Amino acid sequence: MRSPSRACSLPPRRLLNVDSLFGDVPEGFRSGFVSFVGRPNTGKSTLTNALVGQKIAITANQPETTRHPIRGLVHRPDAQIVVVDTPGLHRPRTLLGERLNEVVKETYSDVDVIGLTIPADEKIGPGDRWILDNVRSVAPNTRIIGIVTKLDKASKDQVGAQLLALHEMLAEHDKDAVVIPVSAKDGVQLEELVGVIRDHLPEGPKFYPDDHITDDDTNKRISELIREAALAGLKDELPHSVAVEVDEILPNEHREGVLDVHAIIYVERPGQKLIIEGKEGRRLTRIMGTARKDIIALLGQNIYLDLRIKVLKNWQSDPKSLSRLGF
């Protein structure tokens, strides 16, 4: 069996080797996996970052920003919570969408708690019910808690009405349904949410050392930071066509302590390449500047970022291209 380590992803609970887990724990210690589900832009990644206490998942205004499960660790004296940030469950339009949905459903079937996120300022609609029904179909025995997000964007009356509506929807299948309001942006009710999640986890060991934050590898985190910078300001369908791959990371031959990061932004059509470049290359320059700052913060050292744009025709629907990009 595989055991969790700094160099590999945490395997599902059913594959864990308990003998190789980390450290003694007090009596009653709880540990387990939680994943947040909801429509695009309901604050799932922002909530994940806030709970972990560090940016591990990128955020953007566009839907379907998250493209692979990201595991972040929440450490408390009486619990260790593995937060699994996943792509949003959605009606797929491409082969990429189908593959992402498969990953999401597999993740939901293996976690201990699922948090259904509903923004405080948006009424519950058919899309929310569709997601809840799909989650229940793949994880019928998993506890679902309701989370009203973005308190900072709604009045107290709106929040109260949303809490009642969400409780009513969950109570159709769970008479003991729990709902909680939070604001990841302002840090409101986050510890209360941690407590609710902890109460629904089984007693168990630590899966990771106390200083572990995420199991995402460095190259993947760098590629996501570049993609986040590239998505800023994009509209319509173009964000879905953007993918990033880190080609290589090497010590700079002429500047001691500097790393050369070589990466590629992929788009699907030549016209999209022109949009990413911007007039006289100014947009690409902004992307490089923003991403470089974030990568320096991640690595803790100076870098030179070499960023190129390539057209990979219809990569979202091409099996070979998807495999090349890790999907």
**In the predicted structure, residue 216 carries a pLDDT above the cut 80:** no
pLDDT at 239 (0 to 100): 75
pLDDT at 312 (0 to 100): 95
Asked whether residue 170 falls in the same domain as residue 315, the answer is no
Q: Is 294 a member of any domain?
A: yes
Annotation-wise, does 42 bind a ligand? yes
Annotation-wise, does 270 bind a ligand? no
Annotation-wise, does 39 bind a ligand? yes
Q: Which domain holds residue 120?
A: 30-200
- Is residue 120 within 8 Å of 150, Cβ to Cβ? yes
pLDDT at 211 (0 to 100): 87
Residue type at 256 in one-letter notation? E
Annotation-wise, does 201 bind a ligand? no
**In the predicted structure, residue 19 carries a pLDDT above the cut 50:** no
Annotation-wise, does 257 bind a ligand? no
**In the predicted structure, residue 224 carries a pLDDT above the cut 80:** yes
141: domain CATH number? Answer: 3.40.50.300
Annotation-wise, does 44 bind a ligand? yes
The CA-based diameter of the chain, rounded to the nearest angstrom, is 66
Annotation-wise, does 312 bind a ligand? no
Q: Is 130 a member of any domain?
A: yes
Structure-model confidence comparison of residues 63 and 214, the more confident one? 214
Digit-coded pLDDT (tens) for 244-278: 999 999 999 999 999 999 999 999 999 999 999 99
pLDDT at 1 (0 to 100): 27
- Give the separation between CA 137 and CA 154, rounded to whole angstroms: 32
Asked whether residue 275 falls in the same domain as residue 165, the answer is no
Annotation-wise, does 12 bind a ligand? no
Annotation-wise, does 214 bind a ligand? no
Q: Is 15 a member of any domain?
A: no
Q: Is 256 a member of any domain?
A: yes
pLDDT at 176 (0 to 100): 92
Annotation-wise, does 31 bind a ligand? no
Digit-coded pLDDT (tens) for 142-157: 999 999 999 999 999 9
pLDDT at 8 (0 to 100): 36
**In the predicted structure, residue 43 carries a pLDDT above the cut 80:** yes
Structure-model confidence comparison of residues 173 and 106, the more confident one? 173
298: domain CATH number? Answer: 3.30.300.20
Average pLDDT, the chain: 87
Asked whether residue 240 falls in the same domain as residue 126, the answer is no
Annotation-wise, does 86 bind a ligand? yes
pLDDT at 271 (0 to 100): 93
pLDDT at 17 (0 to 100): 44
Annotation-wise, does 43 bind a ligand? yes
Annotation-wise, does 142 bind a ligand? no
Annotation-wise, does 89 bind a ligand? yes
Asked whether residue 169 falls in the same domain as residue 60, the answer is yes
How many domains does the chain contain in total? 2
Kindly state the average pLDDT of the residues 19-36.
Answer: 81
Annotation-wise, does 320 bind a ligand? no
Residue type at 266 in one-letter notation? Y
Q: Is 205 a member of any domain?
A: no
Kindly state the average pLDDT of the residues 19-46.
Answer: 83
Q: Is 212 a member of any domain?
A: no
